[in-house]
Chain A
Amino acid sequence: MERADGGQLGPLPVAASATGSRDTGPAAAADDRWRWFRGQAFWLVAPALLLLVVCLGLPLAIVTLRSFSEPQWGWQNYVWFFGTPVNLTVLQRTFAISAWVTLVCVIAGYPYAYVMTVVGPKMRLVLILCVLVPFWVSGVVRTLAWVILLQDSGVINSVIRSLGLGPVKLIRTQTGVVIGMAQVLLPFMILPLYSVMKAIDLRLLQAARSLGASPARAFAQVYLPLSLPGVYAGAIIVFILALGFYITPALLGGPRSTMLSTLIQNQVLSLLNWGRGGAMGVVLLIATFILLALAAPLSRQPHKTGSRRQ
């Protein structure tokens, strides 16, 4: 942000002085108005902040409050949560599924994003459309499509059967949940990867090759480090979104692939236990924000080195 401001305002005094003192009058008046406007800036943001407080701050505060106050004041709900093996299994599974989804997205997205940067413009448009098309169909409908594809008599199983292999159980398993979730989240991996890779100068690879590096070494020592910010950015988004996933695991998963969101929903809507549901929600919320805090320096690093280079 600071850099952008500097870049835009930088040439202004030069232009003003070049056109002579005649223009400084109105320009100064405009500057005054500018300053006045800056004072108003907060009021422009105020409606959004108010909405945020009412529709986000208040709800989260109530969830937190109830996790301590229902049915009576104390840490009971947290003691229950961390003292019940089933909950810990689900918590661990939520992280494991999210990690698997992230890994699958990196493995599938990295080569895909790379190919997007090297093909011709027409092919690139096709590849971009393939990334964006999933957004065009309602999220719930997409999950239904995965139910159709993954079911025991579904498309994937008939392909596997035609290859002469036995049927694979996909629906209501963790594998099925990972396949479906990764498809939904893959665009969030590919788009940041692509925007970072697009900026990498491929001549650097040629330079490494001409200096005697093998293709593998040129990739590992030149391309990979330059593309890592994209990997971090994508992986963080995918992991955090995966942690809170609800619809896909609920429809594709079975009892052995329940994630934390489903447990929370169950506690609140079916068991009407706001305290326990709230405690689970707070755990999920804290996990999300810890991850965000840990990830912030990782994703900020390229900017810092970027400005130093300038």
Chain B
Amino acid sequence: MKQPGRILLGLFCLLVAVWLIAPTIVVVPMSFNDKKSLAFPPSGFSWQWYRNFFTNPEWSASLVSSLKVAVVTAVFATVIGTLAAFGLDRMKSRVSGVLRALLITPMVVPGVVLAVGIYAVYLDTQLVGTMTGFVMAHTMLAVPFVIIAVSASLEVFDKRLETAAASLGATQLTAFRTVTLPLIAPGILSGLLFAFVTSFDEIIVALFITSPYLKTLPVQIFSSITRDADPTVAAVGTLLFIATSLVIGAGLLIGSRQGKR
């Protein structure tokens, strides 16, 4: 009686797992398509879509502007979010509860409503299609992720360590730099990564505030999908997948090494 139930449960999970990873798996072979079509499975092998991605100025320009926006956003969001997480941690819990809920609202506001509003503000202030505009909007969207990541590591951080450092004669700044910062560094780092990914992958606001002069990669992908069946998109997807896998793999490796020590 128990065995068939278990097999059924296992099969169900397998099905869900396939459903979860199917889109990722499909993208990889599509990127080696020999024809300009999105029929699956592809009929032959070629590298042309990768070549196209790196040589077509439209694609490479969008990659460069996406990287620029994401790097600057990640730095700003990490600084602002880390400061806020410290502030919230040091406040009376009732005040910090309200502020925390407020600061996290960007995560639940429907994307298009926010995008329409930002577009309206940017039209009036000439920020449409500018680096400043992109960075401001993306930083606002990324700060909640940094606050959550840093708060999580502050919650397990033993504040008595700071008191101990102070009692041993360390100034507040020294105590922060030599005790607090190294201990919460993993939280800050994961916040930084989240912020980078949030900006790099953001599309809805980007679609509204983009201009022919400043297009981010997701916008370029979206317009390519809606325009024609171009497997370059699949090549981009595969490259992003490999890049993320490498970063996460390195993170896991470092994490497990630290764990062993």
Contact = CB atoms under 8 A, between A and B. Distances in A.
Q: For this complex, into which size category does the number of interface residues on chain B fall?
A: 35 or more
Q: Point out which of B109, B111, B116, B236 has the most chain A C-beta atoms below 10 A from its C-beta.
A: B116
B121 A59 contact: yes
Interface size class of A (residues with CB under 8 A): 35 or more
B174 to A, nearest CB: 12
A34 B22 CA distance: 52
A141 B236 contact: yes
B228 interface: no
Contacts of B197: 135
Nearest to B154: A4
A211 interface: no
B26 A149 contact: yes
A265 to B, nearest CB: 6
A144 B234 contact: yes
Interface string B204-224: 100010000000011001100
A128 B103 CA distance: 29
A17 to B, nearest CB: 14
Interface in A110-150: 111-112, 114-115, 127, 130-149
A162 to B, nearest CB: 14
Contacts of B162: 30
Contact of A138 (B109, B114, B201): B201
Given A30-B163, A144-B237, A130 B84 contact: no
Given A52-B140, A281-B112, A23 B167 contact: yes
Interface string A88-117: 000000000000000000001101101100
A280 B13 CA distance: 39
B16 interface: yes
Interface stretch (B45-53, B91-99, B182-190): B91-99
Nearest to A153: B39
A167 interface: no
A264 B112 contact: yes
A46 B147 CA distance: 13
Contacts of A247: 203-204, 222
Contacts of B234: 141, 144
Contacts of B163: 12, 27, 30, 34
A244 B113 contact: yes
A148 to B, nearest CB: 5
A37 B46 CA distance: 61
A48 interface: yes
Contacts of A61: 117
Contact of A55 (B88, B137, B158): B137
B118 interface: yes
A247 B93 CA distance: 38
A160 interface: no
Contacts of B159: 8-9
Contacts of A27: 163, 167
B117 A60 contact: yes
Nearest to A42: B87
A66 interface: yes
A268 interface: yes
A43 B91 CA distance: 11
A222 interface: no
Contact of B38 (A29, A44, A136, A147): A147
A108 B16 contact: yes
B110 A285 contact: yes
Contacts of B237: 137-138, 141-142, 144-145
B7 interface: no
A51 B20 contact: no
A1 B97 contact: yes
Contacts of A140: 203, 218, 221-222, 225
Nearest to A27: B167
B112 A246 contact: yes
B212 to A, nearest CB: 15
Interface string B231-243: 0011011001100
15 contacts: A27-B163, A45-B83, A45-B84, A48-B83, A62-B120, A63-B113, A112-B12, A112-B17, A141-B237, A143-B225, A145-B24, A154-B40, A244-B110, A246-B204, A265-B112
Given A55-B136, A187-B20, 6 more contacts: A4-B155, A60-B114, A111-B13, A131-B20, A148-B30, A244-B113
Interface of B: 9-10, 12-13, 16-17, 19-24, 26-27, 30, 38-40, 80-81, 83-84, 86-88, 90-91, 93, 96-97, 99, 102-103, 105-106, 108-121, 136-137, 139-140, 143, 147, 155, 158-160, 162-163, 166-167, 169, 172, 197, 200-201, 203-204, 208, 217-218, 221-222, 225-226, 233-234, 236-237, 240-241, 244-245, 248
Which 4 A/B pairs are nearest by Cβ-Cβ distance?
Answer: A59-B117, A244-B110, A44-B87, A145-B23
